[in-house]
Amino acid sequence: MRVTEKGQVTIPKELRDALGIGAGTEVEFERRRDTIVVKKSRTTNQRGSRLVERLRGRGDVPMTTDEIMALTRAERP
């Protein structure tokens, strides 16, 4: 197996199937001396994801995204 210029490798299909790893699955890397262990993440819902999910759809500001960005950049809308 070869590492690409971007540091990517392909996990063989039989291993992905055996571990239930599909598109979007979180994995963790662990270094053990000169070995890298890749394992399926046990925590599928990280803190940031939980926060985003909790806040999704709660915005009630009657401004467009462009107007908000102009305010953060000290520009006039």
**13-44 per-position pLDDT tens digit:** 999 999 889 888 888 899 999 999 998 887 65
Q: What is residue 57's predicted lDDT score, i.e. its pLDDT?
A: 81
Its pTM stands at 0.49
Q: Is residue 9 part of a domain?
A: yes
Q: Is residue 68 part of a domain?
A: no
Domain total of the chain: 1
Rounded Cα–Cα distance for residues 72 and 68 (Å): 6
20: domain CATH number is 2.10.260.10
Q: What is residue 17's predicted lDDT score, i.e. its pLDDT?
A: 93
In 1-77, the DSSP E strands lie at 27-32, 35-40
Structural domain boundaries, residue 1 = 1-44
Q: Is residue 70 part of a domain?
A: no
